[in-house]
Structure formats: C-alpha cells, structure tokens
Structure 1
Amino acid sequence: MNVLVINQCAHNKGDRAVLAFLLHELVRNGITSITVSTSEPRFWGAHDVQGLDADISFIPWGWAGSGGAAVSALQSIPRRLYQRWMTRVAYPALRRALLADQAGLSPRLACNRQFRHALEHADLVISTGGHHVTTLLAPDAISPQLFDMGLTLLAGKPLVCWSQSFGPFDFQTEENKAFVTRVMNRAACLYTRDHASVDRLQALGVEPSQIRPTLESVIALSDVLENTLPPSERPPVLGIAVYAVKRRTPEEYRHYINSLATLVDAAGAAGYTTRFFPMAIRGTAADDRPLIRDIIAASHQQNRCVLIDEDLPTVTHLAEVAQCRMFAGHKTHSVIFALTTATPLIALAYHVKTVDFMRQYALADYAIPDEELTGDALTNLFTRLDQHLDAVSRQQQQQTREFSDVIHRDFSQMLTRVR
C-alpha cells in the first residue's frame, strides 16, 4: 500500500511532531511505502526518519512555492507572482472543476510535477494535522492545503483528514464556502481533535457521518519516551514556548513581551531557570527566536534565561520538555508536548482549541485566553501550579496513557476502513 501524506508544514515543529507520529504509526501498521508532501523538503534529512524501517521520501506541496523560508524583498518577487497566479487562476479552476465534478486539465497542469506523480501512485492520501481548514489563517480558506486536498479528490483518491482542528469559518464568497464544504463531504472521513471542530463542521454543512472525533495524535508519542521523573525530582526549570506569528500592534507586542518577562522574573525569584523552546525552524519566516530574545532582554533575570537555539528533532524536543519542572506554552503543540510528557503547565490560549485540550485533561483552570493575558495573571498561575506539581503531573500521565490507547485504536481502525 502506497500512502501519500499531504499538507505537512516543515517549518512548524508541531506539524513535524504530527508527522513523526504518522510515520511511526504507519510503519507499526505494516505500511512501508510512504511519500510526504511538505512545504520545504530541504528541511528534512535522514536523521528525521532514523529507526523507521520504511521507504520514505519527501516532495513539495502540489501548490509549490509556499514554503516558510525567509527571503529578501527582491527574492520574494517570483514567489509573490506565482502565489497571485495560483490564487487568481489555478485555485478558481480547481474550485470550478470540483464543484462541477469535472477533472479539468488546468488544475492538474498547475500542480507540482512530483506531487502529481505521487498522487497518481497513491492508494491512500492522509492530510496531516494540525490546523489547516479555516478562514482564520487564510482569507476565504484559499490555501495550498485545500488546493492539494481538492487535487486529491479530483484524482479519485481516498482522502483522510487525520486529527485536525477545523474552523472558524467566515467566508466572503459563497463559491469558496461551497468548495470547502464539498472537499469536506467528499473526503473519506474527517478526524477531529477538539469539540469545537465538530460543531463548526456541522454548521458548515458537513454530513455528521463524515466526522469522527479522536484526540491530538502527538499525545501517542509518549510511547517512544523513557519514563519521566515526577516534577519535584526534576531540576527547577521553567520551559516557555511563545507564539510569534500573531499579528500585534506595537503596543500589543510590548504588552506580550512584558507579560512573559514578568513570568520569567517571578520564576527566577522562586529559584527557577527559564529555558525557551522555539517552535519554528531557525531562519524561516515563522522563526520565533527574535521574539524570545526581546522577552529575555525585557527580563530582570537574564542570567537565568537559556534559549535553545538548535532545531531539535521531535523526540529529543519532547525529552527536553520532560526535563522541565513546569512549562508555559502558547503555540498549540507546545501545550501538547507538555501534556504528553506529564510536565505541569500554564497554557496560553490564542484559540479555543487550547482550552479544549486542557479541558480534556481536566486542567482548564490553568489555561489563560489571550485577552486575559497579563504578567500578574501568569504569575498567579505560576504560584498556584508550583504548589501542586506532582499531583498535576500524575493526572497528566494517567490521561496520556488512556488517550494514547484511543489514538492507536482510531488510527488502526481508519486504515482498516479505507483499505
């Protein structure tokens, strides 16, 4: 069986962790011919698939040229022209073809050649999570991810959206809404990882029979980790992961920096060292290291701050989080990493899905929405959590075991269904 994994974002460490799960799980289920369509194939190497007994190759997205590498203004001109052509010509052609159930030539000609070849030879196509189908990240949901999903359906291949968040949806045109609804209804099945996604898909007009709730798949990577120590036996380290890609005014940016710096100062006063974990590949447009350096500069505890500058492989990253006594995560998968490793955490929620993940662990009291984010709020949560570290960790560990069993079962059943 040949499996094509699509929609993988190479620069995002959360999405890289989702792929790590998928590769391990596919091999565990006897599938050894795997092609991964990723935004930046150059960001993958042999060390990323080490220990996996399978033939794994990396190719570009069908909508190529949408990678996350940072480039100069002059270098970006061809990319901008290509994106404009894809958005105004190729994407509408694909939309018309899918809504009319006609596999026209223009979408296929616009598709990257390597992607087209892999799609032709695929027996199953899996769209990897986390959060692609939404107007939150792309106006009217016009995105490379949905383009490649549409190509998959036009090719008559079974498409599974695995463990994803869907929505919110706020469409400007009925055509794009109809297109997204058609893609969702034509997929073999949609696996949601949070409760809000189910409601949003149904409100969009997706048939309930299409929707299968599961859990965030990275949680099942707990299987590859060694037993972790109780937090009280770990070094006094506070891990922090920030959210850099949110659009902020200069005032909002200063507020964010000062709020995190206040947390760093409170941790330092309590005897903690702070370790910052970037959640994007170094040198990409989403690189969060500049923001991290600004937070460190605003802190009065700079001598207690460490920035992990290297790009850690997923399992190594998880193991490093497991060495922290406490964590504060803003990027979605930084929260998942802490939950998976039984590391007590404060979850900064830029999206309702984060609160939902914390609620699944009965830890919603330690989640703080963006609009309530202040230095005092973070400090208060830090002080409260510091008093219950081992109890919270035991709760996380027990829930992770149960969730991991569910995720393995759901994935195996999905493969049985589509084979």
Structure 2
Amino acid sequence: MISLYAHGGSGNHGCEALVRATAKILNPLKCDCFSLNPLEDKKYSVNDIASIKESVVKHGTLTWFFWSVLCKLKISNPVKKIYYYFLKDSPDVALSIGGDNYCYDGFPESLAYMNSKLNKVGCKTVLWGCSVEPEILQNPEIVEDMNRYALITARESITYHALINAGVGNTRLFPDPAFQLDCVKLPLLDGFIEGNTVGINLSPMIIDNETADGVTYKNYENLIQYILDTTDMAVALIPHVVWEANDDRVPLRALYHAFQDTHRVVMIEDHNCMELKGYISRCRFFVGARTHSTIAAYSTCVPTLVVGYSVKAKGIAKDIFGTYDHYVLPVQSLKDPDELMHAFDWLMQNEVTIRTHLQQFMPSYCAKAMEAGNEVKQLVPGAVG
C-alpha cells in the first residue's frame, strides 16, 4: 500500500487530477489518499479510485483539543495536528503529491517536518511531480530536506536541473502525472462550437500575483472582445478550482456577465477534472492560468497560451516546445492591457505549426509520465520481481 499526502482536496481539480492520474500510473498497487478535505473527494467520486482518509483532526473533538493544547504549549508542531492521522499511519512508502507546494510560503517548512518524521520511522518518501523555484535551493536546509526523499520526480527540466545542480541526486525527470489523466466528453452546451471555440481559464491566484492593479482582468476582457470582433470563434469560460477562498468562477462569471449579450460566450460550470478535460479537448485554442487546465489542453493537442506566475509554467512549456517564449505570458510582467491579445494573435498565426507539433510530440511525452510509476514501485516491498 502506498499513501498519498499533501492533497488539499478535489475542489482544486488539479489536485484531483494528480490523485486520479497517480492511481492510474501506480496500478495495480493500491493507494490511500490522506486528504485535507475528504468531503470534496467524495463529491467528485475520487474515493472510487483511492481510499480517502482524514488528515486533519476534526475540530471540537477531544483529540483536537489535546493536540491544540500541545501546540499552544509548543510541545508539538502544529503540522502534526493537521496531519495527525497520516503521521500515525506510518506507511512503507509515502508520496507528497502537492506538485508545487514548495513554491508557496510556509509549505516548505511543513513538508520538511513531515519528511523528517516519516524518515525517522523508516518510511520511504517521494516528492512526486514537483516544481521548485531554483532560488529556494540556495537554502541549505531545503537541500538537506530534499536529500531525505528516497525519490524526487521533477515534472519539468528547470526544476530538474536546479535540483541536480544543488546536489540533490535522488531526482528523476518525468512529465506531470496529469498528462495521463483520462478524458470524459459530456454533451456540449449550446453556443460551444466544437473545434472553433477558445477555452479561457482565469484564476484569483493569477490576479493576486499581478504587479499592476486590474491589469490581468482587463487583459482577459480585451482578449475576449478581440476574439468576438475579429473571428467567428465562440468563447468558453472554464473554471478549474472552485475553493471558496480561491474560486475561478468569480472572475470568470464577471467576464461572462460582461459578454453574455453577445450570445457567443458560454460559462462551463463545475465538473470533475476528467469532464473539464473533455471540454478543453474540444477547443480550438486554450488560454489558461491554472497549470492543470493547461496540461489538459496540451495533452489533447490544443494550441495553448499560459498566463503563468512561477517556474512550472515556463518549465513545462520549455520541455514541450523547446522554449517558453510566446507560450507563457508571466502575469508579473503585464503592464499593457493588450498584451494578452497580442500574445494570442501570435498563437493564432502559428496555429497549424503548433498543433502539428503537439500531435507528433504528445504521444511519447504522455507515455513518459507512466514510466515514473516504475521508479516508485521499486521502493515498495514485493512490488517488483
């Protein structure tokens, strides 16, 4: 049995995609998934492919009160309360599936704590499908933590080379597990023209990373107006995270209300990650902020423009196209309200070349994501041989 941890819940459909794809890659081995939000996982039926278990001690219980007192007295680390059931389980092999968790403030310290605790009880840990900002590897404590993992699978080459150059030798390079996510095609909404619709994803996280107030939303607004004015394509607004405090539907609905009277803009409501991939796969182009929405597009050979904020967007595009120029527009660099429009114009002009490259490149690239499972299986007693 393999345990998955650092899973925030399937309301982030990128997290959901990682659990689903990881279970597929590791088949026939079974997975326990320790979740921060099991109700979300059950809502999207993730419990059908992995055993969903609580990570968090339930608020108001005696156990919660006990650990709260210990944490307040600084007798125990708060992380232990959050991941109480997981750490108590002490699996043989544990995969941290958060992907880019090391890119966010506070997460490296929590992950390092769990990595250390698990290693002390003889558990083999894996940092699975990760991206790491190269700058944090200047911290010797981070490098020490990385070297505790029995295996690290980097999902793009910028992270891979940064880890190798920092002396983290337990690192392998494989595409993001979600390149193996299955695709489910539901009936299309009226107004969604298969093969002639631009899929658009916008996230509050991207807006939070902008350096000029309001410039991101204005760029999206101008892009949609440009598409409507100069092409016969429809526009589909596609959310990929629906957490209450980080909900793509909030900015997307604002865009929908701004253009609904054109009758050429449709709003896709919440679905599981495979169904969202089904919608994205039938787009002609895709403009996305969420990494796993763009992975759904890449893997189904849809020419894609990424509005990114971190190393993961650049690294994945570089590995697919040989460069991230023209394929990734860093949100931090947005100053002009028409930059996204100009970037999309380049994508349209190069549509045939890009789609042909994806059709030739993607089959072998997606297949490589499956190979990562062999590395993990070698760590599981009795799984190989």
Shift of 1:201: 3.2
C-alpha distance after superposition, 1:236-271 (max 9, x if no partner): 211111131256499834211111000011111212
Task: Show the counterpart of 1:43.
Answer: 40
Indicate the residue corresponding to 2:108 in structure 1: 141
- The match for 2:122 is 156
Structure-2 residue corresponding to 1:61:
55
AA partner of residue 156 (structure 1): G
Q: In structure 2, which of residues 209, 218, 236 is the aligned counterpart of residue 275 of structure 1?
A: 236
Contact 1:39 1:64 (C-alpha < 8 Å) held by counterparts: no
**In the alignment, which of 329, 332, 336 is matched to residue 288 of structure 2?**
329
2:365 maps to 1:399? no
Matched positions, count: 364
In structure 2, the residue corresponding to 1:327 is in which secondary structure? Answer: strand
Aligned mates of 2:164, 2:72 — CA distance in 1: 27
Please state how far the C-alpha of 1:405 moved relative to its aligned partner.
2.0
Q: 1:12 to 1:378 in 2, by over 3 A?
A: same
Q: Distance in 2 between matches of 1:249 and 1:212?
A: 30
Question: Which ranges in structure 2 are unaligned for 5 or more consecutive residues?
Answer: 186-192
Distance 1:111 1:13, change over 3 A: closer
Cα distance change on mapping 1:14 and 1:306 into 2, 3 Å: same
Alignment equivalent of 2:341, drawn from 356, 376, 379? 379
CA contact (8 A) 1:41 1:58 kept: yes
Aligned to 2:29: 31
Aligned equivalents of 2:57 and 2:19: distance in 1? 19
In structure 2, what is the equivalent of residue 7 of structure 1? 6
Structure 1 segments unaligned to the other structure (5+ residues): 66-74, 95-105, 227-232
Q: Tell me the equivalent position of 1:412.
A: 374
1:116–1:51 distance in 2 versus 1, CA, 3 Å? closer
Are the counterparts in 1 of residues 211 and 333 from structure 2 also a CA contact under 8 Å? Answer: no
Q: Distance in 1 between matches of 2:283 and 2:368?
A: 27
One-letter code aligned to 2:108: A
CA distance in 1 between counterparts of 2:216 and 2:300 reads 26
Counterparts of 1:202-351 in structure 2, within 5 Å, are 202=164, 205=166, 207-221=167-181, 234-246=194-206, 248=208, 252-269=212-229, 270-281=231-242, 283-297=243-257, 303-310=263-270, 312-351=271-310
**Residue of structure 2 in register with 1:366 after alignment:** 327
Match of 2:94 in 1: 125
**Counterpart code for 1:332:** T
1:172-223 alpha-carbon deviations (Å, 9 max, x no partner): xx9xx555333211110111112222344356x5x3322212221211226x
Per the alignment, residue 149 of structure 2 pairs with 187
Q: Please, which of 85, 91, 113 is the counterpart of residue 114 of structure 1?
A: 85
Do the aligned partners of 1:8 and 1:37 also contact (CA within 8 Å) in 2? yes
Q: Residue by residue, what CA displacement relative to the aligned partner does 1:334-373 show, whole Å, maximum 9, x if unpaired?
A: 2211101111111112113212211222163232222443
Cα deviation, residue 17, structure 1: 0.8
SS at 2:226 equivalent: helix
Tell me which amino acid in the other structure corresponds to 2:95: I
Provide the C-alpha distance between the structure 2 equivalents of 1:241 and 1:23, rounded to a whole number of angstroms.
26
Alignment deviations for residues 367-410 of structure 1 (CA, whole Å, 9 cap, x no partner)? 22224434422222323322443432231132221112222123
**Counterpart code for 2:234:** T
Give me the TM-score of the superposition, normalised by structure 1.
0.76
Q: Which amino acid aligns with 1:19?
A: V
Q: Give the Cα–Cα distance (whole angstroms) in 2 for the partners of residues 111 and 359 of structure 1.
A: 36
SS across alignment from 1:245: helix
Please name the residue that 1:198 is paired with. 160
> Equivalent residue for 1:99?
none
| Counterpart contact for 2:151–2:170, Cα < 8 Å | yes
- Distance between the aligned counterparts of 2:6 and 2:218, measured in 1? 35
Contact 1:191 1:211 in 2 (8 A): yes
Cα deviation for residue 127 of structure 1 reads 1.1
Equivalent residue, structure 2, for 1:89? 74
Whether contact under 8 Å (1:38, 1:61) holds in the other structure is yes
Distance 1:390 1:83 in 2: 58
Kindly provide the CA deviation profile for residues 101-154 of structure 1, in whole angstroms up to 9, marking residues without a partner as x. Answer: xxxxx986x46543244x33x2211111420123xx2148333x4443333223
> What is the alpha-carbon distance in structure 1 between the residues aligned to residue 35 and residue 256 of structure 2?
33
Q: Report the Cα offset of residue 168 of structure 1.
A: 4.6
Secondary structure of the residue that 2:244 maps to in structure 1? coil
Question: Hey, what's the Cα distance between the residues in 2 that align with 1:88 and 1:331?
Answer: 39
> Which letter does structure 2 place at the counterpart of 1:234?
E
| TM-score normalised by the chain length of structure 2 | 0.82
Q: CA deviation at 1:159?
A: 0.4
Residue type matched to 1:267 in 2?
A: I
Query: What secondary structure, in the 3-state scheme, does the structure 1 residue paired with 2:200 have?
Result: strand
- Name the amino acid aligned to 2:291: T
Contact 1:237 1:324 in 2 (8 A): yes
Two-structure CA RMSD over aligned residues (Å): 3.4
- CA distance, structure 2, for counterparts of residue 361 and residue 294 of structure 1: 33
Confirm or deny: 8 A CA contact 1:153 1:183 kept in the other structure.
Answer: no
